[in-house]
Structure 1
Amino acid sequence: MEKAGILLKTNSATCNTPIFPVKKVNTGKYRLVHDLQAINEITEMIPPVVANPHTILNQVTPKEQWFSVIDLSNAFFSVPLHPNSQHLFGFTFEGQRYTYTRLPQGFQNSPTLYAEALKKSMMSCLLPAGGQFLLYVDDILVTGHTEEGCKQNTMTVLRHLAEQGHKVSMNKLQLWRPEVTYLGHTLSGAGKRLLNKRKEAIQNAPQPQTKQQMMSFLGLTNYCRAWFPEYSAQVQPLQNLIYGKDLALKDKIQWTPEAERAFTKLKIMLQTNVVLALPDYDKPFYLNVDATQGHMKAVLTQSFGEKQRPLAFYSSKLDSVASGMPTCVQACAAAAEAVQKSADIILGHTLTVRVPHAVTSILLQAHLPFLTHARQLSYVGILLSQSHINIVRCGPLNISTLLPTPTEGKAHCCVERLDEETKPRADIYSTPQEGFTNIFVDGSASKNAPGRNCVGYAVTTTDTIVEARALPHTQSAQSAELTAVIRACEIHEGQDINIHTDSQYVFAAVHHFAKIWDNRGTVTSSGNPVQHADLLKQLLKTVQLPRHLAICKCAAHQKDNSEITKGNNFADKAAKAAAIATTVLLTTHENHTIPLSVLQDEQKAAPSKEQKQWLKHGAVLDTDDLMKIAGKPILPKSLHKTAALVSHGLSHVSTGSMVSIINQCFYTYSFETSAKEYVRTCMTCQKHNTQGNLRPKRGHFPTPPHPFHTIHMDLIELNECQGSKYALVIIDVFSKWPEIYPVEKADAISVAKCLCNHFIPTYGIPFLIRSDNGTHFVNDVISKVSEALGFSLKHHCAYHPQSARLVERTNGTIKQRLRKIMEETGRPWPECVGLVKMWMRITQGNNKLSPFEIIHRRPFPLPVISESLDKSIRETTLADWMAQLLTNREVVLNNKLPQDSFSPISCRLKSGDWILVRVLQRKHWSSPRWVHTKCF
Structure 2
Amino acid sequence: MEQIGYKNVILADGSVRNMAVHKDEQGILYIKGAENLISLKDLVKITKDPALHVSFLGELDMDSLIKEQLEKTSLDPHKLREIIQKGNWATHKNDCGRVKEQCIIKGAMPAREKQYPIREGRDEIRCTLAELKEKGIIEEKDTLSTCLPIQAVPKPDGTYRLVHNLKGLNRVTPHDVRKTFDPYMQLRTMPIKKYKTCIDLANGFWSVPLAQESRAKTGFTFEGKHFQWCVLPMGWVNAANKFQGVVQSYLEGLPVVQYIDDIFFTHDCESEHLKTLDEVVTRLTCAGFKLNLKKSQLGRTKVTFLGFEVSDSVSVPFTYLQNITPPHDLLTLEGVIGQLQYISSNVRDFRNIIDPIMSLKKGLRTKVGQKLVTHNRKLSSQELETYQAVMVKIGANLVNLSNREHHEPLAVRVIVGQDFTECLFQNYDSKSLITCKGYKLAPTETRYTPSEKVLTTLMKHKDMMFALAGSQKIIIQSTDYMIKELRKDLLPQARAVLPRWAKWEMLLANPQIHVEGETKLKPDRKEVVKAIKPEAVYYTDGSKKTADADFCKWGFVRLLKDRKYQQAGQTVGSAQTAELTAVVMALADACKLKLKSVRLVTDSKYVKDGLDDHLAFWEAKDFQKTDGERLEHADLWTLVSCYKKKLQIQVTHVNSHTNGKSEDEIGNAEVDELVQARALFLPTAFLQNRSAAADEELVTFAHKNYGHVGVLRLREIFKKENISVPKLKELTARVKATCESCKVKGGAQPVIYDHLPIMCDVPGVHFSTDVGECASRGVNGHKFFLVIKDNGPGDQSKIIPLKRVTGNTVSMALSLHLPLTCESLRSDGGPEFKNDKVSCLLESRGIRHIFSIPYESHTNGIAERAVRTIKNHILTNLSSRWDTPEGVSELNVILNMTKLKRTEKKTNPEHVSVLQKGERIWVKRGPVRKGDCIKHNVSGPFIIKDVTGNVVLTDTGLRVHPHQVIK
Q: When the two structures are superposed, what TM-score results if normalisation uses the length of structure 1?
A: 0.43
Q: Rg: which structure is higher?
A: 1
Q: When the two structures are superposed, what TM-score results if normalisation uses the length of structure 2?
A: 0.42
